[in-house]
Structure 1
Amino acid sequence: MEKGLAYSILEINETKDEDEIKAAYRRLLSTVNPEEDQAGFMRLREAYEEAVRLCSEDDDKEDDTKDPYEELKDGSEVDRFIYKIHLLYSDLKRRTDPASWEEVLSDDITESIDNEMEISDRILIYISNHHYMPKECWQVLDRKFDYSERTEELSEKFPPDFLSYVNYKINNDEFIRFDLIDNADENTDEFIDSYLSAKFGIDTYINEGLQRMAHDKITDHTPDDEEEKSRKEFDQKTIDEIRSN
């Protein structure tokens, strides 16, 4: 995403003030319903991440490639646990495996009365920007921290629309074809963003085309059959095109 576009979406002037960026993100997050406008929700998230990244951008290319979560491994006990979560999420194969989440969440620190609430909140903060995983993995988190049952309580700390998005992910199947991108590198989420941007565009085109086909009665297949066929073909084509660029 271009720098100017990121600030435009956040409705702020170019700035290096992370507090201003976060405030703009939280304000706009409350105006976007991810269940009704997932594309808008992802676009806002992308703008926020780009603006935060630009805050720490300098001429040192080595710093540009540094993982911002690396410093957690030398922090507090909770910091080190969140770093484990980050390592899990960074590995697409493990990220999409519910058993891997169960293994990490079985750490004794998650049973500590002193740390449980902090860990619960910090995982929510982490997944607000790292949320591409199957429903079954969201459900592992929910069984551990009761997010879906604590919506009212959590609304004192997190935007209601974000909590609605979490509940949506817990209760609905993910349409992303993770099996087609199991060899993606450390930029997996950027890869998925590109895939989804293309998919949202083609879905609109397909749906409009199907309406015309149904109206003109020029096919022996039902619209649902055609839609499923077209989307499956496009899924693989999109993945191949993104990988080739």
Structure 2
Amino acid sequence: MKPWAILDIEPTDDISEIKKAYAKKLKIHHPESDPEGYQVLREAYDTAVKYAKASKKSVNIDSTTETNDTSINIDFITKTTDISPQFTIEYGPGSPLHMEEVPHEESPSIYEQNAHFLTQVEALYDDFYSRIDIGNWKTLLDSDLLWLIENKLVLSRMLLDFLSSHHHLPKDIWILLEDTFKWCDEEAKVTYSHESDFVDYIKKQLNTPIPLNYSYFRIIDCVDYELFFDHREKVQDNIMANNISAAKYHLEQAKKLYTDDPDLFRLEGIIYLLNEDLVNAYGSFEKALTINTEDPAALKYVITTYCENNQTAEALETYKYLYPESADTNALPLFVAKTYFKLGALDKAKTWALKAIKTFPPENEANILLSQIYANLRKKLSKALAEDPSNEKIKLKLDAINSEVFGRTTENTQLNEPKGILKAIQLIFKIVLAILLFVISLALIFASRIGIVVVAFFAIMRFVLKKGK
């Protein structure tokens, strides 16, 4: 069925008309009582809105061509840029939430108010600079509708459904949304079981150690930023999955859309680094730092690149800048091992962890990291072998890892045996010494008592002899 038939309106590029029809149909297909009907309605609404936007964009392009205006409107974002939202949130009598764009009755139903709330979410998301400002989301979420516990669940599901296809947000906003709706809580697993894949995506956004940045963009009219963000995110995901060929593909697609992004340069540098192209890796990291001079992630990869190229002095200098309280050369191999481990580059992480142990043998942290690396390697290879049992290459690699683990365990046992014997000898010596001291103490006490008696005896004898005289 076509979206216009579902919305019960004629085809139009008037988005407000589409939203009005959506709000009306939402009374019938409620997310709680009719989830399937709501899903169909939602898809029809999204399709209709996309059609309307595409129609308007086509008209704008035609008019631009007619006026022969080939200039591109570029607005640079700076720290002083006014990123106030271009949508209006108004609170008025008779309604906890009033949207200017959607006409409604004086006393709108809860369904209409929810539809208006979602309209504001869409308006906020569509305005890029407003979208990345957490203050705008705090204002939006400060709605009376969210104080109604049952209705909060309805809005939560509606918002989750919207965000599943509109999910390019900074990490601090994901934290705010999670604090508000608790999508990732254990208790919410049953409630949101049908959205489990997207809940996993939210968890990834919340837990990522190096979140992607949205603050260094300039808006160019002809750029599809949502598509750019999709490709950029897939570059990072494929790097973490060690699928470098797919990462390179999405990198090239992203660069066709937009190039002046520090995160994209950093991701490009990581791909070069993993392919051991150190010159280009360093060049990409430098480009990232040119745009974002204080990017700690890019600096970490610069240190790693220097270490891979045996430029210890340069690596140490950058390390001192990043960690002024700790500037020991011995710390560099462990630092590089950790960097590769976080990237999922386990083979390189293992190489540098072994260097760290060799450089500074008592380093317990390096041994612990190496154990984690071996565990992840075995898990990864075992999973791959389960999917392809006849793959001899994977079998050989898994056997090699198992042999390494066994060899290190044996080596550690042999190294620990002399230490154990030495400790046993030391313990026996301490026991013997304690016994000897105890015997000597008893002898002294006994001798002292005899001495007192002898002295007393001679003293009495002397006194008696004097008296006798």
Cα deviation code 1:48-71 (max 9, x no counterpart):
x9xx7499869x945988xxxx9x
Q: Which has the larger radius of gyration?
A: 2
> Does residue 168 of structure 2 align to residue 136 of structure 1?
no
User: How far, CA to CA, are the matches of 1:154 and 1:131 in structure 2?
Assistant: 20
Query: Hey, what's the Cα distance between the residues in 2 that align with 1:206 and 1:119?
Result: 41
For residues 104-148 of structure 1, give each alpha carbon's deviation from its aligned partner in whole angstroms, at most 9, with x where no partner exists: 101111111231100011110111011111000011111111112
Counterpart mapping for 1:1-245 below 5 A: 53=47, 61=55, 73-74=102-103, 76-149=112-185, 150-158=187-195, 160-172=196-208, 175-183=211-219, 188-193=225-230, 200-201=251-252, 206-207=269-270, 209-210=272-273, 211-213=275-277, 228-231=285-288
Instruction: Tell me how far 1:79 sits from its aligned partner.
Output: 0.4
| CA shift for structure 1 position 194 | 6.2
Amino acid at match of 2:102: K
CA–CA distance in structure 2, aligned partners of residues 56 and 92 of structure 1: 17
Local SS of the residue matching 1:183 = strand
The secondary structure found in structure 2 opposite 1:147 is: coil
TM-score (norm 1): 0.54
Partner of 1:43: none
Q: For residues 80 and 145 of structure 1, what CA distance do their matches in structure 2 show? A: 19
CA separation in 1, counterparts of 2:200 and 2:114? 26
Q: Is the contact made by 2:164 and 2:198 (CA closer than 8 Å) also made in structure 1?
A: yes
1:76 shift after superposition: 0.8
Deviating more after overlay: 117-126 vs 165-174:
165-174
Give the 3 Å change call, closer, same or farther, for CA 99–233 of structure 1 in structure 2.
Answer: same
CA shift for structure 1 position 161? 2.0
**Alpha carbons 1:109, 1:116 under 8 Å: kept:** yes
Aligned AA (2:229): I
| Structure-1 separation of matches of 2:57 and 2:288 | 40
Report the AA paired with residue 192 of structure 1.
F
- How far apart are 1:81 and its partner, in Å? 0.6
Describe the shift of the 1:200–1:88 C-alpha distance in structure 2 as closer, same or farther (beyond 3 A). same
Runs of 4+ deviating beyond 6 Å: 202-205
In the aligned structure 1, how far is the partner of 2:142 from the partner of 2:158? Answer: 16
**Percent of residue pairs bearing the same amino acid type:** 18
Provide Cα deviations, 1:26-49, integer angstroms capped at 9, x if missing partner: xxxxxxxxxxxxxxxxxxxxxxx9
1:118–1:62 distance in 2 versus 1, CA, 3 Å: same
**1:234, CA displacement in angstroms?**
9.8
Which structure has more relative contact order (CA 8 Å, sep 6+)? It is: 1
Distance in 2 between residues matched to 1:212 and 1:174, nearest whole Å: 22
Distance 1:105 1:184, change over 3 A: farther
Give the counterpart letter for 1:180 in structure 2.
Y
* Paired letter, 2:193: E
Superposition deviation, residue 190 in structure 1 = 3.8
Q: TM-score, normalised by structure 2?
A: 0.31
Task: State the Cα deviation string for residues 86-105 of structure 1 (Å, max 9, x = none).
Answer: 11111222211112111110
Counterpart-to-counterpart distance in 2, 1:229 and 1:199: 21
CA RMSD of aligned residues (A): 4.4
Most deviating of 110-119 and 174-183 = 174-183
Paired residues of 1:128 and 1:162 also in contact (CA < 8 A): yes
What is the total number of aligned residue pairs between the two structures?
A: 176
Gaps of 5+ in 1: 1-14, 18-48, 236-245
Deviations 1:157-195 (A, max 9, x none): 31x222110111123267444223253569542453466
